[in-house]
Structure 1
Amino acid sequence: MGFWENKNVLVTGHTGFKGAWLSELLIGRGAAVSGIALPPEGTDELYSGLQLTQRMTGTFLDIRDASALDREVAKVAPDVVLHLAAQSLVRRSYRDPVGNWATNVMGTVHLLDALRRLERPVTAIIVTTDKVYENHEWAHAYRENDMLGGHDPYSASKAATELVSASWRRSFGGQNLKIATARAGNVIGGGDWAEDRLVPDIIRALKSGKPISVRNPRSIRPWQHVLDPLNGYLTLAEQVHLSDNEHFQSAYNFGPEPADVFSVNDLAEAVLKHWPGQRADASDPGSLHEAGRLSLSIDKARSELNWAPVWRFDEAIEKTVHWYRQVSEGADPLPVTRDQITAFEAAR
């Protein structure tokens, strides 16, 4: 437990896939966890499966509502904030670009301004994405000092979130408000049921006995189990909170080892080793633009935070499919999730 025991921690987006895993991880490390988020979507969501309503303090509100958010942040008075609340789907951002920008950019502005007014020490880790970089489809891994950009509304809004965070850090940062940003790769793990996301789409197809539809089989992504970047966020939060060195209040990539950057087709084939089924190529040259190649350099996090990914690609796939198969066969999601966290903590 150590650092996190009895820390007052606010997780925004706690009802989402990553937020639910993060809340469970923090509860296991002894933190007093509060959450702010929209109500969970769908009927299979992880938040309910982990019984988080009974095990943490949660408030449903929209971070676009500045006044409501300000009141709730003042009420929680957190020591550490992990900001995951976002519109996180690329294809949805094309359908509602204004809502996407309002949530991702102005929602972050509202949160940071609420924290600025607390007038007490607080550390904020703002979670963005590997898609914040101006993507040239080149082979080398993106470093934290590479140019920001973004073709689609989601990616561009997250790049803008990086600029917002840097502006607040320079304008209002100090001993009372410390801000860093975390850029993670494509996370996988049990309990993700989002629309238009590869692993949930694969699992839905396998459960129904249908062929897996693969939209962009040649696209390259930095796949990683959800626990690896979450552990990175917590490692970064500890370092920023405890250190007077402002250097740590900056951006950090959290991705897989360089050898674990694989194609969509590779991931689909790896899943089928653990849950047999059929695969169908559903690529469409006229579909909405999505990046063809993404990879992250993790040298900065490795050297400055002593962080490294724990589970390699094959193990991340095996753990993910195992979670879905167990739960599909009637297992309680909470002990399945706890078992995987215990295995991860023992391995790191």
Structure 2
Amino acid sequence: MEKLVIEGLPSRDFWRGRKVLLTGHTGFKGAWLLFWLEAMGARVTGCSLAPEQPRSLFAELHAPERLASETIDIRNADDLEGLVRRARPEIVFHLAAQSLVRRGYSDPHGTFATNVEGTNNLLQALAQVKTVRAVVVTTTDKVYRNVNDGRAFVETDPLGGHDPYSASKAACEMVVEGWRSRLADEGCSIATARAGNVIGGGDWAGDRLIPDAVRAWSSGETLKVRRPEATRPWQHVLEPLRGYLVLAESLASADASAPAYNFGPRAESASVRTVLSLAAREFGEVRTDFADTPEGPAEAHKLDLDPTLAETGLGIRGLWDLDRTVTRTAGWYRDFLSGRPARELCEADCCAYLEDVRRAAMACIR
């Protein structure tokens, strides 16, 4: 019974005192993952640029004394190597990236340099230390060659990318493959994690659906939506983070056998229009302008992931449906803007999520 309960949950015993290197820890997903790792007692070294937005979830959640944190650009191989040698981590989560599709068009050089060269710099540095047992490199659901046929992608589908961001992440996957054997020689396992579109409280980045909606609606402005019928595999941020943690544990124990895993909802992808309709319920009277014709550079119209491999290999099954995911996300922003502390709101989401995971695990063994 205990094994079944633990199967889909990170193990506190594994993470307590574990030396972890987390790149991108000041970003949206990075701040949430750091919050979870700290709660389990991990010894985390963070490597990231300073937060870009005036508001920062990282700044709201973490105090300097809790974390060994360094401001480093992963494109600087020497600085990154020095950090790795000082930290001597056992587990590495690589989240640092240029993660915005539209910025990829405006700064393709920076996007490729960060996502490809930066990843290569990190893996080269990790190969030179003898302490690392597991590396999880996060890429994206957009690494696949997408012909908009509506079919859910599986991990063995061809990689591609019709825009600089997507192509850079597909290239990042190839960098990982190029280092796999060398890292294995040093006793280190590595895998990539391809997550669907992630939402949750505390994301303030530009050109992202929920943050843009919150900024517009909380200011009494009209939200302008470019592609209301585009579909994505939306999921709450805690869903893929649980996957990353369990994947790292499996890699460290040599249980994970696949080079890449999809993390996404089991349900069919939902449209931008549907997500915004659910979010608007938490904000009351809001104004949204849905465009008749798409504006801006090309983006995939349909995108869906098949998460079967993560379900069967890691015991990670999507838990929160779209309604619960969007409601908790929009509610987080509403309550934060009303004065509730970010840490309190994140703790509430984590407690609710973990309780639901435990209930689901117990239901499986009845």
What is the TM-score of this pair, normalised by structure 2? 0.92
1:293 to partner: Cα distance: 0.6
Instruction: Give the counterpart of 1:314 among 319, 323, 328.
Output: 323
**Alpha carbons 1:194, 1:200 under 8 Å: kept:** yes
Partner secondary structure for residue 125 of structure 1: strand
1:273 to partner: Cα distance: 1.4
1:122 to partner: Cα distance: 2.5
Q: Tell me the residue number matched to 2:135.
A: 124
1:282 to partner: Cα distance: 3.4
Structure 1 unaligned segments of length 5 or more: list them: none
Q: Tell me the residue number matched to 1:218.
A: 229
Give distance in 2, aligned partners of 1:210 and 1:42: 20
Give distance in 1, aligned partners of 2:318 and 2:54: 31
Q: Tell me the residue number matched to 1:269.
A: 277
Instruction: Give the counterpart of 2:26 among 15, 19, 41.
Output: 15
Give distance in 2, aligned partners of 1:203 and 1:89: 18
Give distance in 2, aligned partners of 1:327 and 1:138: 39
Give distance in 2, aligned partners of 1:118 and 1:171: 12
Residues 256 and 300 from structure 1, CA distance in 2 versus in 1: closer, same or farther, beyond 3 angstroms? same
Q: Tell me the residue number matched to 1:247.
A: 257
Give distance in 1, aligned partners of 2:33 and 2:98: 17
Answering whether residue 335 of structure 2 is matched by residue 326 of structure 1, we say yes
1:66 to partner: Cα distance: 0.2
Instruction: Give the counterpart of 1:177 among 168, 188, 191.
Output: 188
Cα offsets for 1:218-269 (capped at 9, x unmatched): 10000000000000000110111012x5724x1000001223x100011111
- Structure 2 counterpart of 1:139, one-letter code: G
Answering whether residue 123 of structure 2 is matched by residue 112 of structure 1, we say yes
Answering whether residue 348 of structure 2 is matched by residue 339 of structure 1, we say yes
Partner secondary structure for residue 81 of structure 1: strand
Partner secondary structure for residue 258 of structure 1: coil
1:101 to partner: Cα distance: 0.3
Cα offsets for 1:182-213 (capped at 9, x unmatched): 00000000000101111100000111011221
**Alpha carbons 2:228, 2:272 under 8 Å: kept:** yes
Give distance in 1, aligned partners of 2:38 and 2:182: 33
Give distance in 2, aligned partners of 1:178 and 1:166: 11
1:168 to partner: Cα distance: 0.4
Give distance in 1, aligned partners of 2:246 and 2:112: 28
Instruction: Give the counterpart of 1:287 among 272, 292, 296.
Output: 296
Give distance in 2, aligned partners of 1:340 and 1:118: 37
Answering whether residue 312 of structure 2 is matched by residue 303 of structure 1, we say yes
- Structure 2 counterpart of 1:163, one-letter code: M
Give distance in 1, aligned partners of 2:292 and 2:75: 35
**Alpha carbons 2:183, 2:189 under 8 Å: kept:** no
1:54 to partner: Cα distance: 3.5
- 1:46-65 correspondence to structure 2 within 5 Å: 46-65=57-76
Give distance in 2, aligned partners of 1:241 and 1:62: 27
Give distance in 2, aligned partners of 1:27 and 1:283: 46
Instruction: Give the counterpart of 1:257 among 266, 271, 294.
Output: 266
1:346 to partner: Cα distance: 1.3
1:279 to partner: Cα distance: 1.3
Partner secondary structure for residue 241 of structure 2: helix
Cα offsets for 1:314-335 (capped at 9, x unmatched): 1111110111111101111111
What is the TM-score of this pair, normalised by structure 1? 0.96
- 1:201-212 correspondence to structure 2 within 5 Å: 201-212=212-223
**Alpha carbons 2:225, 2:290 under 8 Å: kept:** yes
- Structure 2 counterpart of 1:315, one-letter code: R
1:286 to partner: Cα distance: 4.8
Q: Tell me the residue number matched to 2:242.
A: 231
Cα RMSD of the aligned pairs, angstroms, is 1.3
Answering whether residue 96 of structure 2 is matched by residue 85 of structure 1, we say yes
1:172 to partner: Cα distance: 3.7
Give distance in 2, aligned partners of 1:291 and 1:159: 15
Partner secondary structure for residue 198 of structure 2: strand
**Alpha carbons 1:73, 1:114 under 8 Å: kept:** yes
Deviation larger for 43-52 or 168-177: 168-177
Give distance in 2, aligned partners of 1:130 and 1:280: 27
Instruction: Give the counterpart of 2:175 among 118, 139, 164.
Output: 164
Give distance in 2, aligned partners of 1:336 and 1:139: 35
Number of equivalenced pairs: 345
Partner secondary structure for residue 30 of structure 1: coil
Partner secondary structure for residue 35 of structure 1: strand
- Structure 1 counterpart of 2:315, one-letter code: N
